[in-house]
Amino acid sequence: MGVRQGYAAADVEFNEQFLYNTGAPVELDRFARGNPVLPGTYPVTIQLNAVPKLNGDVTFLDNGTPVATPCLTLRQLMQLGVKTDELLPALEAEKSDPPLEQRCLDLSRYYSNAQLHYDPSSQVLDVSLPQIYVLQKPAGYVDPALWDYGIPAAMLSYDLNAYQSVNDHDRSESAYAGLRYGVNLGAWRFRARGNLDWDSDSGTDYDSHDIYLQRDIPSLKAQLLLGDAYTRGDTFDPVNLRGVRLYNDERMQPSGLSTFTPVVRGVARTNAKVIVTQDGNKVYETTVPPGAFEITDLSTVSYGQDLDVTVEEADGSKNSFSIPYASVTQMLRPGTSRWDLGLGQYNEGDLSERPWVMVANGYYGFNNTFTGYAGVEYLDIGYVSSLLGVAMNTRLGAIAFDITHSYLDDPEVADEALQGQSYRLSYNKTISGTDTSFNFAAYRFSTEHYMTLADAASLHSGTGEDGDFNLYQRMKNQVQLNISQPVRVNGTDYGSLYLTGSWQDYWGAKDEPTSQFSAGYSNSFRWGSYSISVQRTYDELGVKDDSIYFNLSLPLENFTSSGKAPGGFSTLNMGMNLNRDGSSNTNVSANGNSEDNRFSYSVSTSYNHDDQQSLADLSGYGTYNSAYGPLSASVSVSDEADRQYSLSYSGGMVLHGGGLTLAPNSISDNETLALVYAHGAEGAGVASMGRINGDGYAINTGLTAYRENTVALDISTLSRDVEVKNTSTLAIPAGGAVVKVNFETDSERSVLLALTRTDQGFIPLAADVLLDGRSVGVVGQAGQAFVRGIPDSGVLQVAWGSGADQRCRVSYRLAAGAPVVAGSLYLDNQPCVMEASGVAETGAAAAVK
C-alpha cells in the first residue's frame, strides 16, 4: 500500500477479521495513511497518470505525520509533460530561495484535483492530473530533455570463429575475429571497426573498416559524424567518404523508422562456414549446421549495397550468391523530411586517386499523396549529377519516379563531355481482394553516356578497363520483382506462394545478360510444415542452372501423448536439393534445447551425390548461451574420413568507473546499453541471458534509443541473501549511450525470529523492531519478526505503542549452526521481556506518540 495525497486523500481503516494473528491485537494506526515514509531523498520512478515518465531523485519533506510529503520541482514537472506556462508568472513573482527550478511545489495549489500516490515497495510516485494540464504529444514522443547520454565508458566487442577441415590428407585452418571498439564521453561517441583474419596458407591480416567520431544534434534531430562514413542509398548509390556527414536521425522522431538490414537465407549441406561481405569488406562470419539457415543480426558497413554471401562446406566446396540491398521507401508522412549531407574524400579502397566528393539529398512529404525528393553529387574531377523525383500514394499503389542527369568532363576518360540520364520507376502494392503483395517492383534504364559517381571515379583512376570508356561495363537495364500470394479458399488458409526475379544487362559488356528467378510454396498441416522452391539462374556466359529444394519440419511433441518432445529433441527437419546437372543433397536433422534455452543443439546427417562421387556425413552442432556470450561448437565426419571442426564465440565488455563488465553477447556499432548496478545481487538475471556479477554489475544490451525502455531484474536466480527494493525501472537512452541503471538493494544478513512475550501476551502485527533506536524490521503474523542488518548478538526492542506496557526487549545470539528458512537465519522461541515503567521512549515508539 502507498501514500496518496491530494484533495481525495482519506484515512484507511483495516478489518482485523481478515488478519490471522491467533487472537493477537493488531497495531496498524501508523499505516492508516499508507506505508510510513520517512523524510529524505529517494530514487524513484515518476509516473504521470499511471504512465512511467521519469527516473530521478525526489525529496520527501516532514509534515508531522508518519508519511512525508513528496516534493516535485518545476524541472521535473516540465520533464513529465505537465503544462507550466500559466504557472511560471506566479512562481517568478514569489521572491524566495532556492532557485525557481529547484523549488518544491504544492501541486494542489496550482492544479485542481491533483493527487500524488507513492508506493515505497516499488519506489513509484504517481502524479494524477486532469488531462487539461497535460501536454498532448504524438504517440512515442519522448522529450529530448529526458534523453540520457550515459556515463563515460569504453567498450570492446568481438565475434570469434575458428575453423578446421581435413580432406584427402590436406589440412585447412582459419580463424576470424570481428572487432568493434569505442569510447563514450558525454554526447560524443568514438567508434572503430575491423576484422583480423588468419589462415594456414597466407598468415595474418587485419582490415580496418571505419573509424569515426559521432554525436547527436538534438535541435536538428540529427547526427554529426566525423571520419569514415557511408551516405544513405535511397537516392543515389551509397558513397563511402572520409570527412564530415550530417544527416537526420529518424529514431529521434515519434514515428522513427528502424534501419533496414536484409535477412540472409540459404542452405548448407554440411557444417558450413558462412561469410558475408559488402563492398569488399567482411561484415559477418559464422558456422551453421546442415540445412536451411537464416541470419538476421547483420551489422553492415553501409545502408544499401549488395551483400555477397559465400557458403564454404566441410569438404572445401564453396557456393556464392548475392543479395540485393537497397531502400526504396521514398514516401514520407505529410510535413516530415529526410536529408543527408556529406563532404570529404572519396574513400573506395581500390582507387589510385581519392578525389573530393560532395553529396546532398533531401525528401519532403507535401501531403498524403505526394512526396518530393532531390539530390546532387559532385567530384572534383569534372563530375556532377543531379536527381529529381516524386513519390505518389495512389489507388493503384505507391509509385515513385525519378530522373538522374550526369555530366562528366574529364580528358582522362573521353575527349568530350559525357552526358546521360537514368530513369527509375518503383512500385509497391497489396491487392486487397486477393492479398497479393507486390513487395517491390522496379525498372531502371540508363542511356549510354550516363555515369554514376562510382563509374566516373573508377574511369578517372584507370581501374575500369584501363580507363577505356567504350569498354567499361555499366548498367543499361535492370528489372526487379517480388510477389507474395497467400492461398485461401472459402476462408481457409492453404499456405502461401512467392515469386522473385531480377534481370540486368550492361553497356560496354561482352557478356550475356544475367538473371535469377525463383518461386516457392509453403504450408502447414496437422503434424508440421513444409515448403518447396524452384530456382533458375543465367550467368554472364549464358549458362543456365536449375534447382529444386524441398523441406519438411516436424515438431516431435506432436507425436507423443504427453505433448513433450522425446529424447531432448524438439524438431525433426528433412530437406532435399536437386540440381539440373544431376547432383543432389539430402539432409535430416534433429534439433533441441534445454528448458532455460541456454543450451541448444542439433544432430544431422546428409547425403551428397553428383556425377563424380557420392558422399555421406554425420555432424553435430551445439550452442551455449552463457552470461558472457554464446559459445558454439561443431564437428562432422564423412564416409571418406573428411573431418571438420569449428568453435565460435561472441561477446563484449564495457570498461566504466566501477570496473570491467562482460556483456551477454556482442555489441554492435550503434548499440545502446544499460549498465545495471545492484549491489550484492549476484546471480540476478537481466535481459539477453545476462547475470549480475560479483561486483554487482551486468550489461543489458538491445535498448531502443530515444524511447522508454523497461530494465528489469529476475531475482529468482539470486545466489545470495539480498533484498532488492525494486525489480524494474525505466531508462531513456540516447543513441549509442551506456546508461547506468541503479537498483536499490539491502545485502545485509536477514534473520527470522519467532517471538513470545514473557507475560504470555501477544505481540501485535506490524510492531516495529528497533536496534539502537533504528528500525531494522517488523513483526508479522503469529509473532514472526523479519529483521535485516543485525550483529551476531545484541538486544532488540519491539515497540507497538508509546507506553512501557507496549514495548519489550529480546536478547538474541546467532549460533554458528542456526537453521536457514527461505534464505534467512531462523531463531525459534525468542522470549521478549516486557519493559518496566519509566523506560525512556525511543525510536518509532516516540514517533508514534
Per-residue confidence at 373, pLDDT binned at 50, 70, 90?
A: very high
**Domain residue limits at 804:** 750-848
Do 737 and 774 reside in the same domain of the chain? no
CA distance 703 to 738: 10
- Residue 843: pLDDT band (50, 70, 90) is very low
Q: Which residues contact 816 (CB under 8 A, 6 or more apart)?
A: none
Quote the cell numbers at residue 574. 528433412
What pLDDT sits at residue 263?
A: 66
Residues with Cβ within 8 Å of residue 12, at least 6 apart in sequence: 1, 31, 32, 33, 34
Q: Is 52 buried (19+), middle (13-18) or exposed (0-12) by CB count in 10 A?
A: middle
The predicted model gives 565-594 an average pLDDT of: 88
341 and 487 both lie in a single domain: yes
Residue 790: CATH number of its domain = 2.60.40.2070
Report the range of poorest mean pLDDT among 133-137, 651-655, 754-758. Answer: 133-137
The whole-number pLDDT of residue 375 equals 97
What is the rounded CA–CA span in Å between residue 604 and residue 576? 13
CA distance 485 to 496: 6
Contact 653, 638 (CB under 8 A): no
Please give the span between the terminal C-alpha atoms of the chain, in angstroms, as a whole number: 23
Residues 638-660: b if buried by 16+ CB within 10 A, e if exposed: beeebbbbbbbbbbbbbebeeee
Per-residue pLDDT at 22: 46
Domain assignment present for residue 271? The answer is: no
Q: How many domains does the chain have?
A: 4
Do both 483 and 352 map to the same domain? yes
CATH code, domain with 737: 2.60.40.2610
**pLDDT exceeds cutoff 90 at 674:** yes
What pLDDT does 328 receive? 43
- In a domain, residue 443? The reply is yes
Is the per-residue pLDDT at 765 higher than 50? Answer: yes
Query: Which pLDDT score, from 0 to 100, does residue 432 have?
Result: 63
Percentage of the chain modeled with pLDDT above 90? 37
Mean predicted confidence (pLDDT) in 401-418: 91
- Taking only the tens place, the pLDDT of each residue in 28-42 is 555 555 556 767 777
pLDDT tens per residue across span 252-271: 887 544 443 556 778 888 88
Short-list 212, 181, 176, CA closest to 197:
176
| Residues 702 and 841 placed together within one structural domain of the fold | no
> Does residue 157 carry a pLDDT above 80?
yes
Q: What is the pLDDT of residues 695-714, one digit of tens each?
A: 999 999 989 999 888 898 98
Summarize the confidence of residues 344-363 as an average pLDDT.
90
**Section 69-85 average pLDDT:** 83
Contacting residues for 226 by C-beta, under 8 A, at least 6 apart: 212, 213, 214, 243, 244
Query: Per mean pLDDT, which range of 39-43, 592-596, 750-754 is the poorest?
Result: 39-43
Instruction: Check whether residue 657 and residue 761 sit in a common domain.
Output: no
Please indicate, yes or no, if residue 526 is contained in any of the structural domains: no
Q: Please indicate, yes or no, whether residues 764 and 729 belong to a single structural domain of this protein.
A: no
Mean pLDDT of the chain: 83
Provide, rounded to the nearest whole percent, the portion of the chain with pLDDT above 70. 87
Sequence length of the chain is 849
pLDDT-derived band at 339 (thresholds 50, 70, 90) equals very high
- Last residue within a domain, chosen from 726, 746, 766: 746
> For the residues 89-99, what does the mean pLDDT come to?
67
Looking at residue 693, its pLDDT comes to 93
The answer to whether residue 786 scores a pLDDT higher than 50 is: yes
Q: How confident is the model at residue 539 (pLDDT cuts 50, 70, 90)?
A: confident
| Stronger pLDDT, 496 or 595, i.e. the higher one | 496
C-alpha cell at 630: 554464446
Query: For the whole model, what pTM was predicted?
Result: 0.76
586, part of any domain: no
> Is residue 174, in this structure, part of any structural domain at all?
no
Domain final residue pick, 136, 156, 187: 136
Same domain, 370 and 479: yes
Q: What is the pLDDT of residues 443-455, one digit of tens each?
A: 999 999 999 999 8
Residue 77 reports pLDDT greater than 80: yes
Residue 15 domain-assigned?
Answer: yes
**Which residues fall within 8 angstroms of residue 242, CB to CB, at 6 or more apart?**
227, 228, 229, 344, 345, 347, 354
Q: What is the pLDDT of residue 422?
A: 96
- Domain CATH for 103: 3.10.20.410
Kindly state whether residues 31 and 104 are assigned to the same domain. yes
Q: State the pLDDT at residue 170.
A: 81
**Mean pLDDT of all residues in 329-337:** 80
Whether cis (ω within 30° of 0) applies to the bond prior to 98 is yes
The confidence band for 520, taking pLDDT boundaries of 50, 70 and 90, is very high
765 shares its domain with 737: no
Q: Could you tell me which residue, 109 or 742, shows the higher pLDDT? A: 742
Least confident segment among 237-241, 315-319, 603-607: 315-319
Q: If you average pLDDT over residues 111-122, what whole number do you get? A: 81
DSSP letters of 398-423?
Answer: EEEEEEEEEEE--TTT-SS-EEEEEE
**pLDDT grade for 390, boundaries at 50, 70 and 90:** very high
Q: How many CA atoms lie within 13 A of 102 on its CB side?
A: 4
Is 819 a domain residue? Answer: yes
pLDDT recorded at residue 687: 84
Q: 3-state SS of 751-783?
A: EEEEEEECCCCCCCECCEEEECCEEEEEECHHH
Task: Say yes or no: 337 and 375 in one domain.
Answer: yes
pLDDT of residue 36: 66
Rounded to an integer, what distance in angstroms lies between the CA atom of residue 688 and that of residue 681? 17
Domain endpoint, select from 482, 510, 538? 510
Question: Higher pLDDT residue, 384 or 24?
Answer: 384
Same domain membership, residue 737 and residue 773: no
The answer to whether residue 68 scores a pLDDT higher than 70 is yes
What pairing do the DSSP bridges indicate for beta strands 170-185 and 69-71? unpaired
Q: Using 50, 70 and 90 to split pLDDT, how confident is the model at 463? A: low
- Quote the pLDDT of residue 13: 53
775 has pLDDT over 90: no
Q: Flag whether pLDDT at 342 surpasses 50.
A: yes
- If phi > 0 it is left, if psi is from -120 to 50 it is alpha, else beta; for residue 479 that is beta
Regarding whether 389 and 361 lie in a shared domain, the answer is yes
Report yes or no on 695 lying in a domain: yes
- Band (pLDDT 50/70/90 cuts) for residue 326 is very low
Section 564-589 average pLDDT = 87
